[in-house]
């Protein structure tokens, strides 16, 4: 059985993934583009050893921030795991929808350039959303229309058929927008209390300016602060704003690209949410 836990940032995916893994004696596979990198812990809200509760976690902390890691690499690595653990229950968890799509669907890669597509009817924001779907950590500026179109026309990824290669169930966690945005804002404050500034500074002081740091929310804004371009308060406000915008893009991808079964999270009694999800999964199993 393959379960996938998706949803916007800050909604409780990690906690649910561990609860389900314990319930079904499963391993957990990362589906977050930033959490593959070592030492990006606070800014990515990476699962802690204590939170893992002894459950095996795969594809976390597998690359240095100086190494390149693409969706192509992820697909190759995750397919090997799916083959290795084909007799085990598996729980995917993460907010990078493209990673899930590449892992579980007939998502193929071509090195040939696509024919030029006319994007004149698209706004810059729409083009940027398309680029982010293919590269969540893109460094292209949202207003650099020429580079956005060039990337889309020269992309090396192409989903040939939206055909699922593995039986799976996708569980989505959601909540009211105002509640989510408030949780995101408070989450950033907690990250700062836990040492986000020092974590980002440790890379900055080493002169590391690779894509995960220059494109990852929480790090790119801190780099602007270290560079003296913005104040600390402005940097933190940007992290909150960019996190909220990212949550919006996540919803768009999940709703348009994946077959998600959504559940409203009860933050006051998360156990109730877990029970609802398990009840749904059991019914799905009985219907097979």
237-246 residue pLDDT tens: 999 999 999 9
Which of 109-118, 157-166, 254-263 ranks highest by mean pLDDT? 254-263
Please give the helix or strand (H or E) that residue 280 lies within, else none: helix 270-287
Cα–Cα distance list, 212 to 101, 128, 156, 253 (Å) = 21, 18, 19, 21
- Distance from C-alpha of 220 to C-alpha of 223, rounded to nearest angstrom: 5
Assess contact for 250 and 242: CB atoms under 8 A.
Answer: no
The yes/no answer on whether domain 2-111+156-287 falls in CATH 3.40.50.300 is yes
10 pLDDT more than 90: no
Residue 162's pLDDT is 67
Give residue 156's pLDDT band: very low, low, confident or very high (50, 70, 90): very low
- CA nearest to 62, candidates 73, 48, 51, 50: 73
Q: Which residues share a beta bridge with 54?
A: none
61, burial (CB in 10 Å: exposed 0-12, middle 13-18, buried 19+): middle
Handedness of CA 217, 222, 228, 230 (dihedral sign): positive
SS3 call for 278: helix
Residue 111's pLDDT is 47
Residue 92's pLDDT is 98
- Is 186 or 151 the better-scoring residue by pLDDT? 186
Assess contact for 137 and 249: CB atoms under 8 A.
Answer: no
Q: Which residues contact 111 (CB under 8 A, 6 or more apart)?
A: 156
113 pLDDT more than 50: no
Domain limits, the chain: 2-111+156-287, 112-132+139-155
SS3 call for 94: coil
Strands 26-30 and 57-58 turn out to be: parallel
- CA nearest to 16, candidates 115, 77, 76, 26: 26
Residue 154's pLDDT is 65
């Amino acid at each position: 059985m393959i379960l996938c836990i998706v949803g916007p940032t800050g909604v409780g995916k990690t906690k649910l993934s561990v609860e389900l893994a314990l319930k079904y004696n499963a391993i957990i596979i990362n589906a977050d583009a930033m959490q593959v990198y070592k030492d990006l812990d606070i800014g990515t809200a990476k699962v802690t050893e204590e939170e893992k509760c002894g459950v095996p976690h795969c594809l976390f902390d597998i690359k240095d921030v100086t190494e390149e890691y693409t969706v192509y690499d992820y697909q190759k690595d995750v397919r090997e795991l799916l083959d290795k653990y084909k007799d085990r229950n598996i729980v995917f968890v993460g907010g990078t929808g493209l990673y899930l799509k590449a892992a579980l669907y007939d998502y193929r890669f071509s090195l040939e350039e696509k024919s030029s597509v006319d994007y004149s009817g698209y706004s810059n924001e729409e083009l940027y959303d398309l680029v982010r779907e293919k590269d969540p950590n893109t460094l292209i500026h949202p207003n650099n229309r020429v580079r956005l179109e060039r990337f889309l026309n020269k992309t090396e990824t192409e989903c040939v058929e939206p055909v699922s290669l593995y039986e799976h169930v996708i569980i989505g966690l959601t909540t009211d927008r105002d509640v989510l945005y408030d949780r995101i804002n408070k989450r950033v404050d907690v990250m700062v209390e836990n040492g986000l500034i020092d974590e980002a500074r440790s890379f900055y002081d080493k002169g590391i300016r690779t894509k995960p740091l220059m494109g990852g929310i929480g790090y790119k804004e801190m780099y602007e602060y270290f560079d003296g371009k913005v104040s600390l308060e402005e940097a933190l406000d940007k992290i909150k704003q960019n996190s909220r915008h990212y949550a919006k893009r996540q919803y768009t991808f999940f709703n348009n690209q994946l077959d998600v079964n959504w559940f409203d999270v009860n933050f006051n009694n998360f156990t109730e949410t877990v029970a609802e999800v398990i009840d749904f999964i059991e019914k799905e199993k009985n219907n097979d």
